[in-house]
Structure 1
Amino acid sequence: MSTIPSYGFTTTILHSDRQKEIEHGSVHKPVHTSVMYGYKDARDLAAVFQNKQSGYRYGRQGNPTVSALEEKITKMEDGFATIAFATGMAAIGAVFQALLRQGDHLVSSSFLFGNTNSLWQTIGMQGVDVSMVDATNADNVANAITSSTRMVFVETIANPRTQIADLKRIGELCRARGILFVVDNTMTSPYLFQPKTVGAGLVINSLTKSIAGHGNVLGGALTDTGLFDWSVYPNIAGNFRKQAAQMHGMAQVRAKALRDFGASLSPDAAHQIAIGAETIALRTERECVNALALAEMLEADPRVTAVHYPGLPSHPQHGLASELFRAYGALFSFELKPEIDCFDYLNRLKLAINATHLGDTRTLVIPVAHTIFFEMGAERRAEMGIADSLIRVSVGIEDTQDLLADFGNALVQ
């Protein structure tokens, strides 16, 4: 039986590094910049390469500072193991590079981050069949599954219209069919939601966003929750099957995606992310309070035609969000009346910054159709419900009244 006490979320993150001995009594895991690792006994070096003993081989495949962050993220997600990457998109790409083959089928939510949508187009051209469905109803996912379906992919809260996937029912469906359930948890973060609770086998987080929290570092992570039975997954190569079944997925991802494609997180970035992660609970709680106050104010204003935020009772999945998440998140979007130009409105804001990013301490705004979703074209935007006047807001930790005044004053033409 473990003698390690069970602590709360923030306490666990704050003291994660100290669960193991740290060099020279340091409180934080130091930044290890070495690319290579020497061994006095060449047999030990060979044993590390052959996975017969633990150790580091080369900086592209692992680093003590990065490993400490990976353990921190694993604790956040109550998972089995984590691999960190240079960006969130690298983590998403790693799943499909390492685990899908030509002829496989992927069922995905149609409400996706723009770059993920673009990636699906790429893997489609490489021989993977992709079905995009409205994942707010699990029946749509069930109807899309074929004998070649290897995984189902959803985001917890969609960016920018905040649709919420029917996570619990999709998880039950995947478990019954033996299909890998992959959940991008970036929009909620491990503080608001742990996808393991709905049966996810793999969880993706863009560490750049809420976990790091300050807009100063890139990173991504893929966490194995320990729930999926890798022994039945057909795409695991023979050499990785020599390890314990629970390790199959992550061993193949670390070799075929991290090692072979080289999207490694730097030790400096890992250190910055680890420090930022210590305050995720404090930041997220403040951001969620601010987001709800702003959304309620804008929804009540006749100059605003729609507000998309799960915390509002008018949101189609408000009940589901209340059931699943600790709070409703720091992102919402809204649409202005036609006579109010969205660019003019944005330019009248004094505090909110015109920038593309999420999960920052500062409030950020962006005209969605004209920027991050412009490349996909008008037809695809219409399918996703993205109006030309849609403004996305990533709410920061500013004083609530200052934000209310800023967004309210900008409505005055």
Structure 2
Amino acid sequence: MSKNGFTTTLVHSDRRSTIEHGAIHKPLHPSSEYAFADSRELAAVFQGKAGFTYARQGTPTTQALEAKITQMEGGLNSVSFATGMAALNATFFTLLRAGDHLISSQYIFGNTNSLLNTLAGLGVEVTLVDATDVANVAAARRPETRMVFVESIANPGTQVADMKAIGDWCRDNALLYVVDGTLSTPWLCRGRDVGAGLVINSLSKYIGGHGHALGGAVTDTGLYDWSTYPNIADVYRHGSPQGWGLTQIKKKGLRDMGATLSADSAHRISVGSETLALRMERSCSNAMALAQALAAHPKVSRVSYPGLPSHPQHVRAGELFGGRYGALVGVELLDGIDVFEFLNRLKVFVLATHLGDTRTLVLPVAHTIYYEMGPERRALMGIADSMLRISVGIEDPQDLIDDFLDALESF
């Protein structure tokens, strides 16, 4: 980040560089190809010089967004992708090979769990551990371990990984540490501050913030020494080692996989990101108020929210996230209450699968996004059949509380 604060830097990011006609936002560049007056210049860009050739590998619009993400994370550079899952795929598939070993938190997004199953089917050994304790990560290490992966706040159980201790351990053992910071966002916690070498964000969620664009990003924090990583192809081992890892992720993820973020989505996300701190402040505050109200209700059997003193990682979350606790709340209703009937009685909450919207979204976890995972894996993640996932938005907090409690009244 610059010497200015978080929001000031984002709001003025575009205009700090040259923009025609005095515009305050970078323009939208929808062109698929980029022409050159000199053929040697065209060849030079293909061989590594900064520039644009074909939109699959990036555009001026995605580059402007990537600059903002890098500023947020305090990193070296970022590369954007069509979705958060595309960013995860690009990271895992370009940096891991058959025979490698990956240590991952067992508390991970359902689609990420599916992705790890795919990796395992291709010969990458995956060990799932309870990452709320660094000792479990250390115990899983093997000679062929290449990477450690955690989510900052687990979806939907809200477990908070032992991120700082894991980062210290990875540094001491020269292992690549990858943090998915989607649920905390760089406003609550930057991956660099917990020792991550790479940080992944689903831009579709809080950073974009308005539920109208998909995107993902990988940021290199500059903390990992890529000269020690064995899986960097020779063609990318030139220049400073600092850029090797992200260059391979970008080349393979965009050029080979085609997981390109569109210019239109990049522009929407870039503009939306300017209000990230304002939206997160409100959503976190709303989540705390809702969690406290529901935790006191006799028809609610359990509330999972790091802001509650009853949460196992409450103290850690307060230290990591600066006294704010995120905007995701897990709720389990009392036995005997039909979750579907209950959800159908809500009026303000939106029945939808997504996170980080301005609107509050809710869905029954075990029956939807974690259904394919099966009962054993759900139990390992602490997901009960009655669990509801609530992504808290920016509405008036009392409206959210009243809507939930009114729906409970008839049970």
TM over 0.5: yes
Question: How many Å separate the matches in 2 of 1:115 and 1:262?
Answer: 19
Distance 1:258 1:153 in 2: 22
Q: Distance in 1 between matches of 2:106 and 2:250?
A: 28
Q: How does 1:187-336 map to 2 (within 5 A)?
A: 187-326=183-322, 327-336=324-333
Residues in 2 aligned to 1:367 and 1:99: alpha-carbon distance in whole angstroms: 35
**Superposition TM-score, scaled by structure 2 size:** 0.98
Separation of aligned partners in 2, 1:43 and 1:261: 27
Q: Secondary structure at the match of 1:387?
A: coil
1:370 correspondence with 2:367:
yes
Question: How far apart, CA to CA, are the structure 2 residues paired with 1:27 and 1:359?
Answer: 26
Candidates 377, 380, 400, aligned match of 2:377: 380
Between 1:234-243 and 1:314-323, the stretch displaced more is 234-243
1:9 aligns with 2:10: no
Q: How far did 1:311 drift?
A: 0.2
- Of the three residues 106, 111, 124, the one matched with 2:107 is 111
Alignment-derived partner of residue 88 in structure 2: 92
Q: Is the 8 A contact 2:109 2:155 kept in 1?
A: yes
Q: Deviations over 1:130-151 (max 9, x none)?
A: 0000000000000001110000
Q: Could you tell me which of 321, 340, 343 is aligned with 1:343?
A: 340
SS of equivalent to 1:382: helix
**Matched pairs, number:** 409
* Identity across the alignment (%): 60
- Tell me how far apart the structure 2 counterparts of residues 87 and 362 of structure 1 sit (CA, whole Å): 20
Counterpart of 1:27 in structure 2 is 24
Structure 2 unmatched runs, 5+: none
Which sits farther off after the overlay, 152-161 or 402-411? 402-411
Secondary structure (helix, strand or coil) at the match of 2:366 reads helix
Letter in 1 for 2:59: N
Q: Which residue of 2 aligns with 1:70?
A: 66
Q: What secondary structure sits across from 1:84 in the alignment?
A: strand
Q: Structure 1: any 5+ residue segments left out of the alignment?
A: none
List structure 1 segments (4+ residues) > 2 angstroms apart after TM superposition: none
Report which stretch shifted further, 216-225 or 334-343: 334-343
Letter in 1 for 2:140: A
**How far off is 1:243 after superposition?**
2.4
Given the alignment, which residue of 179, 183, 198 partners 1:183? 179
Aligned to 1:410, the other structure's residue is in SS state helix
Amino acid at match of 2:359: R
Alpha-carbon offset, residue 384 of structure 1: 1.2
Once residues 50 and 225 of structure 1 are traced to their aligned partners in structure 2, the CA distance between those partners, rounded to angstroms, is: 24
TM-score relative to the length of structure 1: 0.98
Q: Give deviations 1:30-73, integer Å, cap 9, x for gaps.
A: 0001111111111111111111x321111000100000000000
- Deviation at 1:23? 2.4
Per mean C-alpha deviation after superposition, the further-off stretch among 40-49 and 175-184 is: 40-49
3-state DSSP of counterpart to 1:60: helix
- SS where residue 239 of structure 1 aligns? helix
Could you say which residue in structure 2 is the equivalent of 1:79? 75
CA distance in 1, matches of 2:2, 2:84: 32
Partner of 2:45: 48
Conservation of the 8 A alpha-carbon contact between 2:2 and 2:71: no
1:5 positional shift: 6.0
Quote the residue 2:389 is aligned against: 392
Deviations 1:162-218 (A, max 9, x none): 001000110011000000000000011111110100100000000000001011110
- Separation of aligned partners in 2, 1:98 and 1:257: 7
CA distance in 1, matches of 2:315, 2:264: 41
Q: Report deviation, 1:275.
A: 0.7
Alignment RMSD (CA, Å) = 0.9
SS in structure 2 at match of 1:120: helix
**AA at the equivalent of 1:264:** T
Cα distance in 2 between the residues matched to 1:55 and 1:14:
25
Structure-2 separation of matches of 1:172 and 1:190: 19
Q: Find the aligned partners of 1:60 and 1:98 in 2 and give their Cα distance.
A: 17
Query: Hey, what's the Cα distance between the residues in 1 that align with 2:253 and 2:2?
Result: 35
**One-letter identity of the residue aligned with 1:341:** D
Q: Distance between the aligned counterparts of 2:177 and 2:20, measured in 1?
A: 38
Q: Write the distance in 2 (CA, Å) between the matches of 1:140 and 1:240.
A: 34
> Which residue of 1 is the match for residue 117 of structure 2?
121
SS of match in other structure, 1:82: strand
